[in-house]
Amino acid sequence: MAKTTELDSYEKRILQHLQEDASCSNADLADKVGLSASPCWRRIDRLEREGVIKKKVAIVDRQKVGLNAHIFAQVKLNAHGRANLDEFTNAIQAFPEVLECYVLMGAVDFLLRIVATDIEAYERFFFDRLSQLPGVHEVNSTVALSEIKATTALPIP
């Protein structure tokens, strides 16, 4: 488990603002959190060096770039597959369609969040790639019909 980084009230506000808009200038951010530019920059630099801020990215609307199918797949491995988790993990990391992959405790081994242009494209991905991975015993796919809430912002305590 990762070590928790101690955050002061300024750093918490910096993180809250950056999660909403990481493109704002340091001067604007400093003004919003009640600091001058230099101390604000030093705090951001520390948060980046310590890995609290992993990276700054643009969040793209998947449907506007033609990725209309959003699928959650539960994957169960057979005993041989569980013995070779690295092989499965490396293959999943190489699939650009897989946005997220989590190891689970319980009846299934992995939960994948997958995007595709449409259901037919997911079907091809499923039959040609995902189900062909060594050790895959079972895949249960659920298609998301609509999105009620999606955020990347963490609730900073």
How many domains in the chain?
2
**Residue at 44 is within a domain:** yes
40 pLDDT exceeds 90?
Answer: yes
Confidence of residue 26 (pLDDT cuts 50, 70, 90): very high
Q: Looking at the structure, do residues 132 and 79 belong to the same domain, yes or no?
A: yes
Convert the pLDDT of each residue in 99-144 to its tens digit: 999 999 999 999 999 999 999 999 999 999 999 998 999 999 999 9
Whole-structure pTM over 0.85, yes or no?
yes
The per-residue pLDDT for range 142-154, each reduced to its tens digit, is 999 999 999 999 9
Say if residue 74 is in the same domain as residue 106. Answer: yes
Using 50, 70 and 90 to split pLDDT, how confident is the model at 81?
low
Do 45 and 68 fall into the same domain?
A: no
Q: What is the CATH number of the domain that holds 121?
A: 3.30.70.920
Domain membership of residue 68 as a residue range: 62-143
We report the CATH number of the domain holding residue 33 as 1.10.10.10
Are 40 and 113 part of one and the same domain? Answer: no
Residue 66 sits in the same domain as residue 125: yes
Are both 73 and 104 inside the same structural domain? yes
- Buried b / exposed e over 87-119, threshold 16 CB at 10 Å, is ebeebbeeeebbeebeeeeeebbbebebbbeee
